[in-house]
């Protein structure tokens, strides 16, 4: 992956469409992300800033991000200073991964003021800063950097803004044709290009070297930089399990290629699902740990029950010993530690040595084995019941674990509520009591225009299947694999819609990373909930099976 200086150059060009746009709303979904809603050229756009150490970026997004009920302090400060303002320019500093949004706004008394919103995309050192453009003083930033942490610059409110240190590399666009020929007359490696030229990551360095093998160096350089400047061909490549992306074609790679209309769409494809998972993990880390601990306890209990079950299976031997002792009461006396008797139940009538208690009479020893037999027989029934319950509980918690891993923030709260209703988890007290709301399954639309709903947790699954869905509509679920309930809101969907719904079912299941996943489908009238069954558990019949491979690109396309 490479959100390098070249990609930043392309992105800054794409973001020029926001110039003259008005900032209508500001949100901060979490500590590392800010979203501006901007009205520009007659349409609304969502501009996402992320300073996540692994997913730092800025781009226009089509995806929805849930916001907290109470906005963080930095969000409130942005609203105070730039909400209602107009973006006057979008500027990149050379080929550095820094983009500045200059904003014309107004202060509390209505006077015109200029502000800068600066995004520094530098991995774990990324930051988003609000600056007073008049004197370049920092108003505030998401991350603070005191002098004790960095001797080059201080990032604190009231301090003078100092840009990150520049790398002092050559801009490829500044070289003449003659200079380019001279530079590339030497045998350069990708490492050499990264070290010498501004904005290059190893990905784009390798792309340039590959192009030079098919044409002359000057043409290759000019062509690549022109494509970068115009975002000619936003490209997503998946090769050997790794993901690569670029504003231009990556001709040196041979993996599966997908092209997108804009860089924003490309970055949504690359980052959105991962960033969403990370956001949920921040809020559901304690829940995941609790689920894993409970699973570990149940699996340990299951092993112990299996050992008890194996011991209890000796009941037939206890019965045999009791009967043989009763048949030989006069062949041994009190005080012996064992007795040898003939096993008249066996065809060969072999001799059996039976351990006995020297403190008990012969009849007491026989009765002791009968007692062990009855206890073992009762224990077998109880152990079998406990084993079955432990298995059901493990399946239930594994299903919840899968749901947590694929959930949104709202889905997580519904899972907590479900566990509280089951008496398994004490729910956290909210700061203010929330009004009860109905579960909201996630909505998708097939390429044929047919609505599809997906339950993201058990509350949504039950509500979707038994409240929203009509008896004649099509219901889908992965075969023998924990996953979501999916309903096609049509009595007779076409093959394309059925396949796409099956892809959704496979994607929102434990088999998300598998291929050729079996998905059952039937009418909702054939789906039943057994009495006393746990939330989300159903049985169904008269089903047919499709085999599909989960595809995140298809899921995102259907979401739109």
DSSP secondary structure string for all residues of 49-63: EE--TTT-EEEEE-S
The residue assigned the tokens 């709303």 is 25
Residue-wise burial string across 290-319, b where 16 or more C-beta atoms lie within 10 A, e elsewhere: bbeebbeebeebeeebeebeeebeebeebb
What's the pLDDT at 435? 59
Q: First vs last Cα of the chain: how many Å apart?
A: 25
Question: What are 39-45's contacts with CB under 8 Å, separation 24+?
Answer: 40/87, 41/17, 45/17, 45/18, 45/21
Tokens for 256, please give them.
Answer: 């599966």
What's the pLDDT at 431? 45
Where the chain has pLDDT below 50, the residues are 430-433
Question: Tens digits of per-residue pLDDT, 6-22?
Answer: 999 999 999 999 999 99
Alpha helices in 3-106 (DSSP H): 5-14, 73-82
Instruction: Find, among 405, 394, 421, 398, the residue nearest to 284 by Cα.
Output: 405
Helix axes 217-230 and 202-212, enclosed angle (nearest 10):
140
Instruction: Find, among 457, 438, 123, the residue nearest to 284 by Cα.
Output: 457
Distance of CA 86 to the CA centre of its chain: 35
d(CA 248, CA 236): 10
What's the pLDDT at 337? 85
Indicate the pTM of the whole model: 0.71
Strands (E) located in 343-426: 351-355
What's the pLDDT at 250? 94
Q: Per this entry, what is the length of the chain?
A: 560
Instruction: Find, among 465, 458, 460, the residue nearest to 488 by Cα.
Output: 465
Number of H helices, E strands in the chain: 14, 22
d(CA 368, CA 36): 79
Helix axes 495-507 and 552-559, enclosed angle (nearest 10):
110
What's the pLDDT at 560? 62
Instruction: Find, among 447, 459, 457, 452, the residue nearest to 474 by Cα.
Output: 452
Beta bridge partners of 238: 243, 256
Contacts of 21 (CB under 8 A, 6+ apart): 38, 39, 40, 41, 45, 86, 87
Sheet holding 544-548, edge to edge: 442-445, 451-454, 486-488, 474-478, 517-523, 544-548
**CA triplet 273, 275, 279: central angle to 5 degrees?**
115
What's the pLDDT at 315? 74
Instruction: Find, among 201, 112, 106, 122, the residue nearest to 155 by Cα.
Output: 122
Instruction: Find, among 203, 263, 267, 202, the residue nearest to 233 by Cα.
Output: 263
Residue 348: helix, strand or coil by DSSP? Answer: coil
What's the pLDDT at 359? 87
Beta bridge partners of 476: 486, 521
What's the pLDDT at 1? 53
DSSP assigned state of 516: S
Half-sphere exposure of 423 (CA within 13 A, CB side): 1
d(CA 69, CA 441): 21
How do beta strands 86-92 and 442-445 pair? unpaired
| CA dist list (Å): 330 to 57, 334, 342, 376 | 91, 11, 14, 27
| CA dist list (Å): 135 to 83, 84, 107, 114, 160 | 21, 22, 16, 10, 8
Tokens for 131, please give them.
Answer: 């600056």
Do residues 33 and 46 make contact, with C-beta atoms less than 8 angstroms apart? no
What's the pLDDT at 434? 57
d(CA 325, CA 366): 5
CB atoms within 10 A of CB 202: 14
């Amino acid at each position: 992956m490479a959100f390098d200086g070249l990609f930043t150059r392309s992105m800054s060009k794409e973001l020029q469409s926001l110039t003259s746009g008005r900032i209508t709303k500001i949100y901060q979904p979490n500590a590392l992300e800010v979203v501006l809603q901007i009205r520009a050229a007659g349409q609304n756009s969502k501009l996402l800033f992320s300073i996540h150490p692994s997913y730092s970026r800025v781009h226009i997004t089509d995806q929805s991000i849930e916001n907290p009920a109470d906005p963080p302090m930095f969000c409130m400060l942005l609203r105070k200073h730039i909400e209602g303002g107009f973006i006057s320019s979008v500027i990149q500093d050379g080929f550095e991964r820094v983009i500045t949004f200059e904003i014309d706004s107004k202060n509390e008394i209505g006077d015109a003021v200029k502000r800068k919103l600066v995004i520094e995309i530098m991995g774990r050192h990324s930051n988003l800063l609000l600056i007073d453009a008049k004197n370049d003083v920092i108003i505030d930033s998401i991350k603070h950097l005191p002098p004790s942490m960095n001797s080059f610059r201080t990032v604190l409110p009231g301090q003078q803004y100092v840009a990150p240190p520049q790398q002092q590399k050559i801009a490829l666009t500044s070289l003449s044709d003659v200079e380019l020929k001279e530079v590339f007359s030497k045998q350069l490696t990708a490492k050499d290009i990264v070290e010498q030229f501004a904005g290059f990551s190893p990905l784009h360095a390798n792309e340039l070297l590959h192009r030079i093998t098919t044409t002359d160096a000057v043409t290759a350089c000019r062509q690549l930089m022109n494509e970068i400047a115009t975002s000619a061909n936003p490209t997503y490549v998946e090769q050997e399990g790794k993901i690569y992306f670029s504003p231009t074609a990556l001709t040196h790679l041979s993996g599966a290629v997908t092209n997108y209309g804009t860089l924003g769409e490309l970055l949504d494809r690359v980052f959105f699902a991962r960033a969403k998972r990370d956001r949920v993990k921040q809020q559901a880390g304690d829940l995941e740990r609790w689920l894993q601990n409970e699973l570990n306890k149940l699996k340990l209990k299951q092993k112990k029950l299996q050992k008890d079950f194996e011991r209890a299976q000796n009941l037939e031997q206890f019965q045999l010993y009791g009967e043989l002792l009763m048949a030989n009461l006069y062949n041994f006396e009190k005080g012996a530690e064992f007795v040898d008797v003939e096993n008249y139940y066996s065809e060969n009538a072999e001799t059996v040595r039976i351990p006995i208690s020297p403190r008990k009479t012969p009849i007491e020893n026989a009765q002791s084995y009968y007692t062990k037999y009855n206890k073992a027989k009762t224990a077998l029934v109880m152990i079998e019941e406990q084993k079955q319950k432990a298995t059901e509980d493990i399946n239930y918690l594994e299903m919840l674990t899968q749901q947590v891993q694929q959930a949104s923030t709202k889905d997580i709260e519904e899972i907590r509520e479900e566990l509280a209703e089951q008496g398994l988890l004490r729910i956290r007290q909210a700061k203010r009591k929330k009004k009860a709301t109905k579960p909201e399954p996630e909505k998708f639309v097939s390429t044929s225009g047919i609505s599809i709903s997906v339950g993201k947790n058990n509350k949504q699954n039950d509500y979707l299947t038994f409240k929203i869905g009509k008896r004649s509509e099509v219901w889908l679920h992965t075969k023998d694999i924990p996953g979501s309930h999916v309903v096609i809101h049509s009595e007779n969907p076409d093959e394309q819609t059925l396949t796409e719904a099956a892809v959704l079912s496979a994607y929102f299941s434990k088999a998300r990373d598998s291929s050729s996943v079996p998905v059952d489908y039937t009418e909702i009238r054939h789906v039943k909930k057994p009495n006393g069954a746990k939330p989300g558990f159903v049985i169904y019949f008269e089903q047919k099976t499709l085999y599909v491979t989960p595809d995140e690109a298809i899921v995102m396309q259907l979401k739109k």
